[in-house]
Structure 1
Amino acid sequence: MSGGGLDTVGSPAFTDEDPTRFRAAGWWSDFTLSDAVLRNAERSPDRAAYIDHPDAGLSWLEFDAAAEYLAGQLAGCGIGRGDRVAVWHGDATAIHVLFVAIERCGAVVVGLGARAGAREAAAILRNSEPKILISDLLRSDAATQAASMADLPVPVLVSDHDTARLDVAVEPKPRSGADQLGADDVFLINSTSGTTGLPKCVVHTQNRWYYFHQKAVANGMLTSEDVFLPVIPTPFGFGLWTSHTTPIYLGATAVILGRFTTQAAAEAIDRHKVTVLCCVSTQLTMLMADRACRDYDLSSLRVVFTGGEALPYRPAAEFEELTGAKILQFYGSNETGLLSATTVHDSVEHRLRTAGRIVPDMSVRLFDGDQDVTETGRGQPACRGPATSLGYLGGTDHDKLFTQDGWMRMGDICEIDRDGFLRVTGRTSDFILRGGKNISASQVEDVAMTHPSIALAAAVAMPDPVFGEKVCLYTELVDAATIDLPALVKHLLALGVSKELLPERLIVVDELPRSSGGKVAKGELRQDIRVRMEADDERS
């Protein structure tokens, strides 16, 4: 593969004996997602595989045929084993066909989030060096811009939203079954929020997600008869297993929304008799708060998988009472997979007030720096086990991700009680958790300081009743310069900055507060924004 680094199973979080042990325990297998698609086409040819709400979609037989045709098209374009194929596509059946087709060519998906800006996309392309970039029509102009910004000769091909076929004049080329990826091969590279101002690329095998899938099935008592509604973008970890790996491994049906709104989600649940809803905590909070959603029949729901941040207990309990569903929370990351999870058998208190019981297979420890403090019950979690990724592409930030003896870290401070249930109590990294998505404060600051009026910027979390936190930016200006929020947002959008990085409140100060070491005292800024918001509430 091009791009270098971590192309086979070789994570520092694995010993040489681990893959054999994981297979012996049944946690890993040689059965791939492509194998599962073929099996589903043979066993349940007419069952709906993916439905683009409200009613377009493919059966498992049609899905398999579409993936096979597209794999031939890719082969005709010169894509073969070891190549990387970037996919920048909105949520639709087509993105899942693309992923399987790329797998069948023996190539690796480089997944870009649908809402990524050209600058973020360019950084991912530069890091991963794909052979081609496939986008839907909506993102095709931005894809061309991102390839140019990355200074890479990456051809941009357009995928049809309904069929996933490429808009190229090329005949499908027969390919060898030997080209297809194995379960231990890298099949996906996606991005995560970086602390250096640019996203980092996480390297995935299928087997880590096969393990995660098995835990989800056991915890939620899932079957092939379930109908999934995943509303998290597909390239990211939570979105990947809820919309791609678990529905395919089960042979179940997944309903796909092009864009999440509470009304669209409620309507889809009612129309398609959805049994499994998968969403970040903010989306569930929005759904619970929208009284109009109660005009729809949500009683088909059996399980709701959620994570990203703590749920408000009372509305969550009311949602369970309204729908009859059980809300299941879990704790993990794109890098580590799950460390803890709740099950349908847990009490309401444990399901709604904790992130679940520690997963024994993941061998979770607690650290203070590199010191093991597991016995104290409080510290920074780290793990070694079958759900972990291979780390960052090219070994980026290896020393930050791993302890000295190879345990993969999380970025939070957690407490684990005597019964093994985990609660998140704080963070070690400078992130803003908006709607379950980690937004790097330094990344926001870096892009904001591209504006010529801004001399120094500091981004902090601003409490929000719906999203949990939003981005508040404090700035010092250059000399007599002036700026307001609309002007800054316009500037950032013109640069192709991702919408997630846009500040939602701008506060200009004469001088940012400093600590004794000369760093910006963000603790004072967090206190300041809380005081300002309290004053705003009193005036309103």
Structure 2
Amino acid sequence: MAFDAVLIEQMRAREATRRWWPGRTINDELDACVAECPDKIALTARRVEDGTTTRFTYRELAALADRVAVGLVRLGVTRGDVVSIQLPNSWQFTVLYLACSRIGAVLNPLMPIFRERELSFMLAHGESKVVVVPRRFRGTDYEPMLSALQPGLPALRHVIVIDDGTAANSFETLLSGPQWELQPDASEILTRHRPGPDDVTQLLYTSGTTGEPKGVMHTANTLFSNIVPYAQAMRLSRDDVVLMASPMAHQTGFMYGLMMPILLRAHAVLQDVWQPQAALGLIAGEGVTFTMASTAFLSDLANAVTESGTAVPTLRTFLCAGAPIPGALVERARAALSAKIVSAWGMTEMGAVTLTRLDDADERSVATDGAPLPGVEARVVDENGETLPPGVAGRLFVRACSAFGGYLKRAHLNATDAQGWFDTGDLASIDAQGYIRISGRSKDVIIRGGENIPVVEIEALLYRHPGVSQVAIVAWPDARLGERACAVIVPKPGEAVDLPSLTAFLKTQGVATQYWPERLLLLDAMPVTPAGKIQKFKLRDLLNEMLDQQT
């Protein structure tokens, strides 16, 4: 794969003087862990369904990463090849990233919720050579789904399945079972193609407004230049225990649940399915001190503590991102958890951009999304590109040391000018103290529990429904998830449309369940501009009025 990460060269000169890029890779950090604390517990992974717990010391983790790396080479994976993994939070996820990094392969995490439509595009666009999936997870059989897609994916050579280890294509049979690292050529394999800090190491797809996902390319420098100041701001050290229940196939889980603990020489605890009672058990049993997740997770955990009476005295900080935190939730969570609630905002393209500080008053986490991290600059501009004064909302532009290298095969969408300013697509204001408040999104995306819903893509599909004349997907507020999707539809004359028929139609299109609309509003006509453009703000107002009348 030829990666067109054109923004890296643009950033290199700037970062050479600013010195935010550390010039190290995950290989360097893992090797240092083995040298400094080989027998320290590095990783604990819990499967909620059966309670299985797997632990690795840093020595064991590195040895297994080496083994899997050589196994991947035996399957034909070489430097620059893409290895896709559609896995929940698991030790295999962590090991596969470390293994890919040993041989210069690029990891492409895929959300477990993705189905045929999303997977067929992403695996083809990224030219994935290998994909690793669970045989079954949360009621879905992954192997038949991927095997059915494989004939249409000429680059895809292997579908590897995590199961009981007996199948010919199992993870254990092909990668983690044989002692590949002891073979005569293993040492040369493990050193020949190690990537540098400016080589692409991660390919992560993000939902956008262009009708298709975009492949975000990151290097070790862009990722670590964010993780280092983030960890410093949260005052994290090797003595911390980091719980990650937010998906590692999102930047939150990947950067702060997989990479950051290794950087810190800390202990990572992974939870594969969000279940608040299970999280309580892990926090108590492992002595968890820090976690990061969306608002819904915070609400659930606070409720679980209150209902069960189980205290979590070791938990110092819960960093909450993905949606604004209601003031009442901050108060309730502070009382229940006795932990500091930190608000943050970020993007797949650059990780966490803003954080409130540990010394800030709680009100900051309610009223703002935090101030930019070191190495990050932000400005708000009007429609003419002129910088706006404090407190005035406009388009948010960010220039960051952690900015991505570009969108794979879509450089024309990089939205970054010659000075490195990236158009976030969000509307925001910056107060006199430099704290940012995201006030809306100029891009047409709904964020449901931290998961972006690709609105344009879902609308395009629903226009194919035989009963739909016009459709618009808009957000409606939800106390737990922040937002849910409502389909506003003008039916064709004489056609009956209901929510079950819409979701059944999307299911036949292979669309992830989480992207389906959860409410339906039928109209005789859409509110439109004189040019005929649907006025979604009026639809949102109408929906909110209807919800207010129902309460």
Q: Does 1:92 align with 2:90?
A: yes
Q: Does 1:36 align with 2:50?
A: no
- Residue matched to 1:129: 127
Distance 1:369-1:402 versus aligned 2 partners, 3 A rule: farther
- Residue matched to 1:20: 16
- Residue matched to 1:318: 332
- 2:507 partner SS: helix
- 1:17 partner SS: helix
After superposition, the C-alpha distances for 1:271-309 in whole angstroms (9 at most, x for unaligned) are: 222111111122212322446554322111011111111
- 2:352 partner SS: strand
Q: Output the amino acid matched with 1:264.
A: A
Asked whether the equivalents of residues 46 and 59 of structure 1 are also in contact (C-alpha less than 8 Å), the reply is: yes
- 1:180 CA displacement: 1.0
Distance 1:365-1:146 versus aligned 2 partners, 3 A rule: farther
Cα distance in 2 for partners of 1:7, 1:367 equals 25
Asked whether the equivalents of residues 118 and 145 of structure 1 are also in contact (C-alpha less than 8 Å), the reply is: no
Identical pairs, percent: 26
- Residue matched to 1:114: 112
Asked whether the equivalents of residues 319 and 342 of structure 2 are also in contact (C-alpha less than 8 Å), the reply is: yes
After superposition, the C-alpha distances for 1:156-190 in whole angstroms (9 at most, x for unaligned) are: 33243699945439883621403111221100000
- 1:221 CA displacement: 0.8
Cα distance in 2 for partners of 1:404, 1:455 equals 43
List aligned pairs for 1:350-429, cutoff 5 A.
350-359=364-373, 361-369=375-383, 371-378=385-392, 379-398=394-413, 401-403=415-417, 405-429=419-443
Q: Does 1:141 align with 2:144?
A: yes
After superposition, the C-alpha distances for 1:395-430 in whole angstroms (9 at most, x for unaligned) are: 34526x234754112122211111111112222112
Asked whether the equivalents of residues 28 and 207 of structure 1 are also in contact (C-alpha less than 8 Å), the reply is: yes
- 1:326 CA displacement: 1.1
After superposition, the C-alpha distances for 1:244-265 in whole angstroms (9 at most, x for unaligned) are: 1101111211111111122222
- 1:394 partner SS: coil
- 1:472 partner SS: strand
Q: Output the amino acid matched with 1:109.
A: L
Distance 1:250-1:532 versus aligned 2 partners, 3 A rule: same
Asked whether the equivalents of residues 443 and 501 of structure 1 are also in contact (C-alpha less than 8 Å), the reply is: no
Q: Output the amino acid matched with 1:257.
A: Q
Cα distance in 2 for partners of 1:110, 1:354 equals 32
For residue 277 of structure 1, the aligned residue among 291, 300, 305 is 291
Cα distance in 2 for partners of 1:162, 1:385 equals 44
Q: Output the amino acid matched with 2:55.
A: G
Q: Does 1:160 align with 2:162?
A: yes
- 1:9 partner SS: helix
- 1:140 CA displacement: 2.3
Cα distance in 2 for partners of 1:253, 1:265 equals 16
Asked whether the equivalents of residues 226 and 275 of structure 1 are also in contact (C-alpha less than 8 Å), the reply is: yes
- 1:135 CA displacement: 1.9
- 1:370 CA displacement: 5.3
- 2:8 partner SS: coil
- 1:363 CA displacement: 2.4
- Residue matched to 2:515: 501
After superposition, the C-alpha distances for 1:221-254 in whole angstroms (9 at most, x for unaligned) are: 1011111111221122112112111011112111
- Residue matched to 2:5: 6
Q: How many residues align?
A: 528
List aligned pairs for 1:185-204, cutoff 5 A.
185-204=199-218
After superposition, the C-alpha distances for 1:63-121 in whole angstroms (9 at most, x for unaligned) are: 11111110010011111112111121121111010011011111111221121122111
Q: Does 1:246 align with 2:239?
A: no
Asked whether the equivalents of residues 125 and 147 of structure 1 are also in contact (C-alpha less than 8 Å), the reply is: no
More displaced 10-residue stretch of structure 1: 257-266 or 35-44: 35-44
- 1:531 CA displacement: 2.3
- 1:20 CA displacement: 1.8
TM-score in terms of structure 2 length: 0.90
Distance 1:376-1:221 versus aligned 2 partners, 3 A rule: closer
List aligned pairs for 1:33-112, cutoff 5 A.
33-53=26-46, 54=51, 55-112=53-110
TM-score in terms of structure 1 length: 0.91
More displaced 10-residue stretch of structure 1: 234-243 or 157-166: 157-166
- 1:371 partner SS: coil
Q: Output the amino acid matched with 1:252.
A: A
- 2:486 partner SS: strand
Distance 1:121-1:218 versus aligned 2 partners, 3 A rule: same
Distance 1:497-1:224 versus aligned 2 partners, 3 A rule: same
After superposition, the C-alpha distances for 1:505-527 in whole angstroms (9 at most, x for unaligned) are: 12233332322111122222212
More displaced 10-residue stretch of structure 1: 163-172 or 487-496: 163-172
Asked whether the equivalents of residues 213 and 246 of structure 1 are also in contact (C-alpha less than 8 Å), the reply is: yes
Q: Output the amino acid matched with 1:6.
A: A
For residue 465 of structure 2, the aligned residue among 451, 458, 467 is 451
- 1:460 CA displacement: 0.5
Q: Output the amino acid matched with 1:430.
A: D
Cα distance in 2 for partners of 1:38, 1:406 equals 33
Cα distance in 2 for partners of 1:116, 1:185 equals 27
Asked whether the equivalents of residues 339 and 364 of structure 1 are also in contact (C-alpha less than 8 Å), the reply is: no
Distance 1:142-1:292 versus aligned 2 partners, 3 A rule: farther
Cα distance in 1 for partners of 2:253, 2:88 equals 12
Distance 1:62-1:429 versus aligned 2 partners, 3 A rule: same
Asked whether the equivalents of residues 143 and 156 of structure 1 are also in contact (C-alpha less than 8 Å), the reply is: no
- 1:361 CA displacement: 2.4
- 1:377 CA displacement: 4.7
Distance 1:124-1:300 versus aligned 2 partners, 3 A rule: same
Cα distance in 1 for partners of 2:493, 2:412 equals 37
Cα distance in 2 for partners of 1:162, 1:177 equals 31
More displaced 10-residue stretch of structure 1: 159-168 or 67-76: 159-168
Q: Does 1:469 align with 2:469?
A: no
Distance 1:504-1:267 versus aligned 2 partners, 3 A rule: same
Asked whether the equivalents of residues 229 and 254 of structure 1 are also in contact (C-alpha less than 8 Å), the reply is: yes
Cα distance in 2 for partners of 1:140, 1:49 equals 30
Distance 1:381-1:105 versus aligned 2 partners, 3 A rule: same
Cα distance in 2 for partners of 1:145, 1:396 equals 31
- Residue matched to 1:181: 195
Asked whether the equivalents of residues 157 and 167 of structure 1 are also in contact (C-alpha less than 8 Å), the reply is: no
Distance 1:273-1:209 versus aligned 2 partners, 3 A rule: same
Cα distance in 2 for partners of 1:68, 1:498 equals 34
Consecutive unaligned residues of structure 1, counting only runs of 5 or more, are: none
Q: Output the amino acid matched with 1:20.
A: A
After superposition, the C-alpha distances for 1:108-151 in whole angstroms (9 at most, x for unaligned) are: 11221121122111111122112222222222222233444x54
